[in-house]
Amino acid sequence: MQTTNGAQITKSKKAKIIIYSKPGNGKTTVAGLLPGKTLVLDIDGTSQVLSGYSNVDVAIIDGAKPHDSILEFFGHAKANINNYDNIFIDNLTHYQKLWLLKKGENTKSGMPELKDYALLDNHLLKLVETFNTLDANIIFTAWETTREITEENGTKYNQFIPDIRDKIVNHIMGISHVVAQLVKKADGTRGFMLEGNQSVFAKNHLDDRRGCLQNELLMQSTNENTGGNK
Categorize the per-residue pLDDT at 224 as very low, low, confident or very high, splitting at 50, 70 and 90: low
The per-residue pLDDT for range 171-215, each reduced to its tens digit, is: 999 999 999 999 999 999 999 999 999 999 999 999 999 999 999
pLDDT for position 98: 97
Mean pLDDT for the stretch of residues 6-33: 89
Q: What is the C-alpha to C-alpha distance for residues 138 and 128, in angstroms, rounded to an integer? A: 9
Nearest residue to 159 via CA among 199, 219, 115: 199
What is each CA distance from 34 to 40, 125, 172, 200, in whole angstroms? 12, 25, 22, 24
Give the model's confidence band at 12: pLDDT under 50 very low, under 70 low, under 90 confident, else very high. low
In the structure, what pLDDT confidence band is assigned to residue 10 with cuts at 50, 70 and 90? low
Pairing of the two strands 211-213 and 203-204: unpaired
pLDDT tier, 6 (very low <50, low <70, confident <90, very high otherwise): confident
Q: Is 164 exposed, middle or buried (0-12, 13-18, 19+ CB in 10 A)?
A: buried
The reported pLDDT for the residue numbered 50 is 97
Instruction: Count the Cβ atoms, other than its own, within 10 Å of residue 89.
Output: 26
Around 88, how many Cα atoms within 13 Å sit in the side-chain half-sphere?
A: 33
pTM of the full structure: 0.91
Amino acid at residue number 157: Y
Does residue 18 register a pLDDT over 70? Answer: yes
List C-alpha distances in Å: 88 to 1, 26, 27, 155, 193: 33, 14, 10, 38, 19
Assess whether pLDDT exceeds 70 at residue 65.
Answer: yes
Over residues 88-145, the pLDDT tens digits come to 999 999 999 999 999 999 888 889 999 999 999 999 999 999 999 999 999 999 999 9
